[in-house]
Amino acid sequence: MIKEFKEFVMRGNVIDLAVAVVIGGAFGKIVSSLVADVIMPPLGLLLGGVDFADLQIVLKEAVVVDGEVSAEAVALRYGVFVQTILDFLIIAFAIFMVIKAYNSTKKQEEEAPAAPPEPSNEEKLLTEIRDLLKK
């Protein structure tokens, strides 16, 4: 059982998948930061100084007793949802571009003309005989 597990883990596909998950997680953090810290602030400024993270519809106000919050407010935070949608669209576009580049590279490799195979010794000998007979 341990030997089978070791063979499974050491296969290239499992290791490639693990690397892809780690890189994908890091890429997701980069895109989230890009959206939240680079794209949304200027977009909010263009829309009149709006911070998208603060956009929400309050369904129930917070309950405050003696200066302490005893029950948090219930709100629909649609601004955060818009940021998440932008994260998704950027990640989906980046993956699309990577897959498109991979497919075009693969297609070029498939379309590349294969070199004709080297003739066998028998074919070389027959060619020589044919050439001698022509003379």
pLDDT exceeds cutoff 80 at 114: no
Q: Across residues 70-81, what is the average pLDDT?
A: 88
What is the mean pLDDT of the segment spanning 110-123?
80
pTM of the shown model: 0.57
For a pLDDT cut of 70, what percent of the chain falls above it? Answer: 96
Residue showing tokens 């990640």: 91
At which residue do the structure tokens 């940021």 appear? Answer: 83
Please state the rounded mean pLDDT for residues 36-47: 85
CA distances from 126 to 12, 116, 118, 130, 135 (A): 46, 18, 14, 6, 14
Arithmetic mean of pLDDT over the chain: 84
Q: How far is Cα of residue 53 from the mean position of the Cα atoms in its chain? A: 25
Task: For the domain made up of 2-111, give the CATH fold.
Answer: 1.10.1200
Residue 49 token pair: 């100084």
Write down the domain spans for the chain. Answer: 2-111
